[in-house]
Amino acid sequence: MNDRFLRACRREPVDRTPLWIMRQAGRYLPEYRELRAKADFLTVCRTPELAAEVTLQPLRRFQLDASIMFADIMTPLDAFDIAMTFNPGPKVAQPIRTRADVDRLHAKPAEEAVPYVAETLRILRRELDGRTPLIGFCGAPFTIAAYLVQGEGKEGFNALKKMMFEAPSTLEALLEKLTLAMADYVRLQAKAGAQAIQIFDSWVGVVSPEDWDRYVLEPTKALVTAVRASGVPVIYFANGATTILDRVAAVGADVYGIDWRIPLDEARARLGGAPAVQGNLDPAVLLGPVAEIERRAADVVRRGGGKGHIFNLGHGIFPETPIESVEALVRTVRGA
């Protein structure tokens, strides 16, 4: 059984730095594009056999130390019956803008709303058979709220910011509902076989420190607590939050995902030294020559310091990444 990744989450000694890649299943793989030519994105997410197949695709090519179930951060919103499309990012049919919009949201239990996610995880545990641990995930309440209020991914998320300043209690009410729904969703995942949970806070970099304290800390901490109560380690990835890492450390995660905007050793020091870290090679390095990939990846391994470090990119892999770049990366991290 390969348990390097789980050992690193717990800061136990490992024989070498474990490695996985954010968005490791996806459009940079020709076999993913082939499958997607036959089934749209939501169909893949909602069909356990297809979601499991796509999850396993990168494992067949690369010697990675963890698998991450295929779904989207917007998947659990099926519990609220929120209509959306993907092109390629999520677009919410009717953005949440008013108190009445928030009050209308009633979550079904995750077990009823997204049974296909539990089934995907069960298939994967069986198929993986200990080859790698299986990671489940969800979006952080703030990042999910950002999509729901804005309606789509948009620089600055001004509609969300407007709600923040104009109607703070409306945003707080929305965050509270999302926190409960995500907690229910991660419990379902842990029960179905997820061995760790990553919380993606992809857009939290848009907040000021004052707004982090008011809108992000408590909901995130509550979600982290819920994951840990279900018995699995939790990775919190706060993208773009390197300037407030001291605040980030207060959510109480086992592992902190670090983006590429800070040297990893510095990030660890700013987090207070104790927790494990995951990261943080700039995903754009994989668009460059092999020699540069090798040099940069080795530097991340060195700064990670071995114990309590999980190698990853500082954000998701780009669709235009050459396969040979990923091969060079995996070779370097395994051999470094």
Residue numbers at the binding site for ligand CP3 (CB under 6 A): 22-27, 36, 41, 68, 70, 72-73, 86, 88-90, 137, 153, 200, 202, 239, 315-316
Does 72 qualify as catalytic in the annotation?
Answer: yes
CA-wise closest residue to 18 among 307, 326, 323: 307
- In Å, how far from its chain's centre is CA 74? 12
To ligand CP3, the closest distance from the beta carbon of 191 in angstroms equals 20
To ligand CP3, the closest distance from the beta carbon of 83 in angstroms equals 16
To ligand CP3, the closest distance from the beta carbon of 15 in angstroms equals 25
Question: How many other CB atoms are there within 10 angstroms of residue 66's CB atom?
Answer: 26
| Cα dihedral 83, 86, 89, 91 in deg (nearest 10) | -30
CA-wise closest residue to 77 among 97, 95, 57, 54: 95
Who contacts 291 (Cβ-Cβ below 8 Å, separation ≥6)? Answer: none
Does 36 qualify as catalytic in the annotation?
Answer: yes
Q: Which is nearer to ligand CP3, 16 or 27 (CB)?
A: 27
To ligand CP3, the closest distance from the beta carbon of 310 in angstroms equals 14
Candidate list 3, 11, 16, 72, residue with the active-site label: 72
CA-wise closest residue to 278 among 224, 331, 237: 237
> Beta strands 84-86 and 90-92: pairing type?
antiparallel
Candidate list 16, 27, 122, 214, residue with the active-site label: 27
* The residue to which tokens 């953005």 are assigned: 95
Q: Which is nearer to ligand CP3, 87 or 169 (CB)?
A: 87
To ligand CP3, the closest distance from the beta carbon of 315 in angstroms equals 6
Candidate list 11, 16, 23, 247, residue with the active-site label: 23
Q: Which is nearer to ligand CP3, 42 or 222 (CB)?
A: 42
Does 23 qualify as catalytic in the annotation?
Answer: yes
**Closest residue to bound ligand CP3 by CB:** 202
Q: Which is nearer to ligand CP3, 99 or 131 (CB)?
A: 131
Q: Which is nearer to ligand CP3, 82 or 290 (CB)?
A: 82
Candidate list 28, 116, 147, 215, residue with the active-site label: 147
CA-wise closest residue to 335 among 307, 309, 305, 297: 297
Who contacts 208 (Cβ-Cβ below 8 Å, separation ≥6)? Answer: none
Partners of 311 in the β-ladder = 19, 279
Candidate list 36, 214, 228, 303, residue with the active-site label: 36
> Any idea which residues carry the catalytic annotation?
23, 27, 36, 72, 147
